[in-house]
Amino acid sequence: MYAFFIIVFMMVIGALIGGLTNVIAVRMLFHPFKAYYIFNMRVPFTPGLIPKRRKEVAYKIGQVVEEHLLTESLIRTKLKAPASRQAIETLILKQINKLKEEHSTIQYFTKKLDIDAVQFANEKLDTVISNKLEAFYQDNQATPVKHIIPDEIEKSIDSKMDLVPELLFDRARVYLSSEKGTNDISSMLDTFFNEKGKIVGLLEMFMTRESIADRIQHELIRLTNHPKAKGIATQVINNEYETMKSKTLSEVMNEQQFESFKTSATELAIGYLDINNISKKPLNSLMPSFISFLENKVSQKLTDIIIENASKHITPIMKKVNLRQMIEEQINTFDLAYIERLIIDIANKELKLIMLLGFILGAIIGLLQGVIAIFV
């Protein structure tokens, strides 16, 4: 019984010594957080291992992450992996699909940038159109009109000029045959009679004013059908047309007339474009083919460009980021109590096993010591 008591006692003492030693050893990894001094001499094992080697630990962790975990080759490989490509392209397509939403208008996006799109576009158009017209006029003032008009347009106008006399005569016949034409002829005849009193008295001996007006109307209508009249009109119109083409631009339109024309043309162009209405239309209805092009072509090309450029610039990016230094600085900013909790949370099971192993090994050593003490 005495031998058994000795053995149990030795086992308990050994277990306590081994277990408490491991508990103290684990505790001394973190504590104390600072060094203690007695008579200006630092107390051994202060501070604890991790507080004492904190900078070295931070440096080594940064080195391991940079050289073995987040390496350039690994990042480059991951970027080129099908899953990464798919993720990037999906993100791009998601952004493109936002352009299909009803609220996605030019005005919506420019408001985000605090820009008045309508005013900005109209001002730019006004400036561009006015400057272009001004430059064109200044460059071509001494140029004949026929050299300014494009050949296709000139040919088209030339082919239409033959129709002008017939058109004029057709309009003249319609006018002369109308009630207004009759009234205008009568009015002009009355004016003539009032101015030429003696001749009127002579004519009225043979014809009434109404019959004279009817006769004049009839002759004028007949004149519009006369071939010779048509020939004269055609010649006059063609001569005037050729004369106008031979004149320089400044002869046809002086600077004052050009300024008026420039203002009117610019306002007409801006009004025709109607930027205000365009800016309020959804982009999907405004440019559906372009959005489809973005989806089918640009998204894939843009994915390739992003991956290619990212892979190409990984080295300078990694150098600028300096991952090792960033991790080292971040760890050095951590509170020591936080680092302790972090390590214990990660290795809690292992640390408990180490302490338990201390108790077990201590008990085994105590058992052996008890046996040796009794039998030796």
What residue type is 235 in one-letter code? Q
pTM score above 0.85: no
Query: Would you state the structure tokens that stand for residue 354, as one six-digit string?
Result: 């180490």
**Residue 370, exposed/middle/buried by CB under 10 A (0-12, 13-18, 19+)?**
buried
Q: Do the Cβ atoms of 26 and 354 come closer than 8 Å?
A: yes
Helix pair 117-139, 255-273: axis angle to 10 deg: 150
How many angstroms separate the Cα of 67 from the Cα of each of 61, 71, 77, 321, 322? 10, 6, 15, 14, 12
* Strand ranges, E, within the chain: 37-38, 41-42
- Sign, CA dihedral 101-106-109-111, equals negative
**Residues forming a β-bridge with 113:** none
How many angstroms separate the Cα of 43 from the Cα of each of 50, 56, 162, 248, 255? 16, 21, 118, 106, 100
Helix pair 314-321, 299-312: axis angle to 10 deg: 60
> What pLDDT, on a 0 to 100 scale, did the predictor assign at position 376?
61
> What pLDDT, on a 0 to 100 scale, did the predictor assign at position 191?
76
> What pLDDT, on a 0 to 100 scale, did the predictor assign at position 207?
61
> What pLDDT, on a 0 to 100 scale, did the predictor assign at position 19?
76
> What pLDDT, on a 0 to 100 scale, did the predictor assign at position 150?
84
> What pLDDT, on a 0 to 100 scale, did the predictor assign at position 222?
82
Q: Could you give the 3-state DSSP secondary structure of residue 282?
A: strand
Q: Phi/psi of residue 287, each to 5°?
A: -145, 65
- CA 372 to CA 370: how far, in whole Å? 5
Residues recorded for the chain? 376
Q: Do the Cβ atoms of 362 and 9 come closer than 8 Å?
A: no
> What pLDDT, on a 0 to 100 scale, did the predictor assign at position 217?
78
> What pLDDT, on a 0 to 100 scale, did the predictor assign at position 89?
85
Tens-binned pLDDT, residue by residue, of the chain (376 aa): 667 777 777 888 878 887 788 777 777 777 777 777 777 777 677 777 777 777 887 777 777 777 777 777 777 787 778 888 888 888 888 888 887 877 788 888 888 778 888 888 888 989 999 999 889 888 888 888 888 888 888 888 888 887 888 888 888 888 888 888 888 877 877 776 666 555 555 555 556 667 777 777 788 888 888 888 888 888 888 888 888 888 888 888 888 888 898 889 888 988 888 888 888 888 888 888 888 888 888 888 888 888 788 777 777 777 777 777 787 777 777 777 777 777 777 777 777 787 788 888 888 887 787 777 776 6
Among residues 181, 240, 242, 238, which one has the least CA distance to residue 214? Answer: 181
Please list, residue by residue across 23-32, b when 16 or more beta carbons sit within 10 angstroms of its beta carbon and e when fewer do.
Answer: eeebeeebbe
- CA 71 to CA 76: how far, in whole Å? 9
